[in-house]
Amino acid sequence: MGLMLPLSLSPSDATQLQVITKEILNANLDRYQIFYDVENSNVDPTTWKQVKTKDKLSAYIQRQRKQGLQKLLCIGSVLGTLDNVMSRLINPNGKCWIGLSRSVILSTIRESTSRAPFKSLAVKRIDLDVRFKSMGLVKNHDYVSVEATGTLQLPSGGYHLLHSVDFPQAKATPGRIRGKLSVCSFFRQESEAAVSVYTLGMMDSVNDRTRPGPAPPLQAPKTSCTPRFQRLAPPQAKQPPRRQVSPSSPHGANPRSRHALLLLGGFEPSAITDRAGCSPFTDFPPRATSSSIMLRRLALRSVKTTMRNARGIVSASELYKNPRSSKFSMTKIVATIGPVSEQMDMLQKLTDEGLRIMRVNFSHAEYDEALLRVNNLRACRGVHAEGKAKFNLRAVLHDTKGPEIRTGKMLDGKKIKLEKGNKVVLTTDPAFELKGTAEKFYVTYQQLAETVKVGDTVLLSDGLIRLTCTSVGKGEITCEINNTEEIGNRKGVNLPGLIVELPALSDKDKRDLDWGVEHDIDFIAASFIRKASDVHEIRSFVDECIKKHWSHQPDYIAPKIISKVENLEGIQNFEEILEASDGIMCARGDLGVEVPAQKVLTYQKMMVDRCNAIGKPVIVATQMLESMQNNPRPTRAEVSDVGNAVLDGADCVMLSGESAQGKYPIESVSTMNTVIKEADELLLQQQYRAKFQFAPPTSDVESAVSSAVKTANEMNAQLMIVLTATGYTARKVAKYKPTVPVMCFTTNLKVGRQLQIHRGLYPVVSDYLDRRPTTAEAIAHAKKMGWLSSGDRVVVISGDKLSDNLGREIVMGVADVQ
């Protein structure tokens, strides 16, 4: 009974289990996405035999099984909400097999909390009592496995994983056989009252009439679509042949049908699925030779799956359409997603039209709304094609509300009317916070009286109301009203041209960023940045959040910080802000309130030019196609605004209300893409490109990269290919504004997503997930995707960091495609 004792895991053991669990889940998630998005939830009857149906769930076993573990499939739906169903099926507190077996938690790596009740990781021992034991035909089984549960980054989803692991110190219970299993389940809320269930896995056929003996080793199926564990020890001896129980057994139907119903105890059937007979794992780690866990990472093979869709057969690795497609553009589109565009079908259409980065505005979004939008984006098909989940390289931009000054509430919550020529007192006395009148109301900025001087301007409600300060008292100022207008509750207050003392992050911003880091956002749009220290403060807080949520992943990539410059102080300190930031957003809305309107043009040009010079991405935002909130066509001025931003060298242009709450979100994205493409064509002409003034190369890497870009431009190459692990080389390429698209091969999904913000870069996480492709493989991949044809010329750049002392190696080559 030593197995009942707690299992002691070293920190290294726990880290290895976390890493391997994540990779297993990712591999299974690919299968899940293909099953639903590509195969339309259809089960191949030539591969699977149905053995049981109950309510809306069907259980299958794989046909033509010769030896090894039984592969099982069960799909369907159950009634209830996701929370209720997951509580009944997987309860991460060690009770999920009640009624069918006994289980005990041997070691807890990550414990569920009230905030995340389904997020857990543990090592579990399960005892399973089987039929025919009393007849001496079989022995009872026990299983020691790592168990992971949690929510999933797809619409209202969850997962549950059980995967056998051998621990030398965890001996099998006398009288029992140590079994093997690998079961991964996914759940998704399909409607208010139904949850789809999908489980993928295999398990010992515990009901087969067998002689006592060790379980057979797993045999690798002859397929190229299966990730596997590397074998760490010689195969075991073959098990004696099994004798199957007849379907006419007095104990009922084929016992394997019951096997398919045991995988998630307390609820039947469970759900196990496998795509076209390819098991998710073709080998388990064998018994370790020491007390440590001997696990290795999954070695993902090249996926050569073919997917069928309405337009015919396309490769599973296709990410984009042909670069000559009408959907192709060099400058990227950032679109704000809101109530009118957050649902799956609408978001899919927006991505098809060219959305590359989704902005979530935390000035308005609640966490459940933000999660829906993030999950839906990550569940969309591939960029401009039907790529699988791992090729979904659209990014998420988390826009903070930022520190701000606001009015209080008006008396009885009603609007008040401010009459031109009248006087009004703005006070910081909390006694007036909830009872403002036309004569006196509350303002949240406690240093108001110390900041505003007689003659200064105060703007209310996004600049709609203008006040002029006439006197300053203790904790209050008196102003003359310059125009007649109504004002409601908690409206914004601007102090144009004045330096205010506000923290870089409000308490709400900190809560929001903690949520964002937990959900693996790619970018942070930091609002109202005034100086470099604001950026440093935000970066420090983000680092704390990473330690909190991602300490198990030491190589976790932090979100990039995009500073929003939207006040005069930010303009005055722009150079230090630019140096401290990963990118800049020219937020013209609040900037136009803080500075004279005619100055917005000057400051926009300055910000874009400076970002271009040093190679940092810049987004131009606010009211770019404002009229399309209510009209299906833009004004001519809006078309020119978008086009000129592209010609200036903006990496991205952004939609706000047009795509978040307007009547024509799809038309807005489509129109913007069309205008971008037209401006991109102009940038091929030398008179437009001559304006770009790049800072001199700061390193040998930049010198080599600038030469490669010049070569590609002058030789009229069809494509540039960059092989990059961290994205460093690709970002340097983007600095020099190549005239041809740049396909960036990387092995890291987040690196790929973060490259989306750069003009002309098209990240690819190829089939070679465990390594970077060779030059020949990359060219073949690009040709397969339709980006290259025979006779095309391509410039290839690869960058590697040799060591801290030796620096980086940059290799450039030119190839003619055969």
Question: How far, in Å, are 400, 517, 553 from residue 556 at the CA level?
Answer: 22, 11, 5
CA separation for the pair 451, 14 (Å, rounded) = 54
Tokens of 747: 């092995």
Verify whether residue 474 is a known catalytic residue: no
Verify whether residue 406 is a known catalytic residue: yes
CA separation for the pair 454, 124 (Å, rounded) = 71
Other CB atoms closer than 10 Å to residue 88's CB: what's the count? Answer: 14
CA-wise closest residue to 621 among 582, 646, 593, 656: 656
Question: Burial of 786 by CB count in 10 Å (0-12 exposed, 13-18 middle, 19+ buried)?
Answer: middle
Question: Burial of 558 by CB count in 10 Å (0-12 exposed, 13-18 middle, 19+ buried)?
Answer: middle
Q: What is the CA radius of gyration of the chain?
A: 30
- Give me the DSSP letters along 662-717: -S-HHHHHHHHHHHHHHHHHHTTSHHHHTT--PPPP-SHHHHHHHHHHHHHHHTT-
The residues pairing with 176 across neighbouring beta strands, listed in sequence order, are: 140
Question: How far, in Å, are 238, 283, 292, 486 from residue 234 at the CA level?
Answer: 12, 12, 19, 81
CA separation for the pair 280, 275 (Å, rounded) = 9
CA separation for the pair 422, 443 (Å, rounded) = 18
Contact 78, 195 (CB under 8 A): yes
CA separation for the pair 778, 785 (Å, rounded) = 11
For the chain, give percent helix, strand, coil, nearest 5: 30, 25, 45
Among candidate residues 188, 258, 359, 390, the one labeled active-site is 359
Tokens of 49: 């035999």
Contact 190, 156 (CB under 8 A): no
Among candidate residues 21, 407, 622, 724, the one labeled active-site is 622
Among candidate residues 228, 332, 390, 564, the one labeled active-site is 564
Verify whether residue 775 is a known catalytic residue: no
Verify whether residue 394 is a known catalytic residue: no
CA separation for the pair 89, 528 (Å, rounded) = 46
Cis peptide before 269, with omega less than 30 degrees from 0? yes
Phi, psi of 15 (to 5 degrees): -65, -45
Contact 566, 590 (CB under 8 A): yes
Other CB atoms closer than 10 Å to residue 807's CB: what's the count? Answer: 12
Amino acid residing at 690: A
Contact 559, 398 (CB under 8 A): yes
- Residues marked active site are found at 359, 406, 564, 622
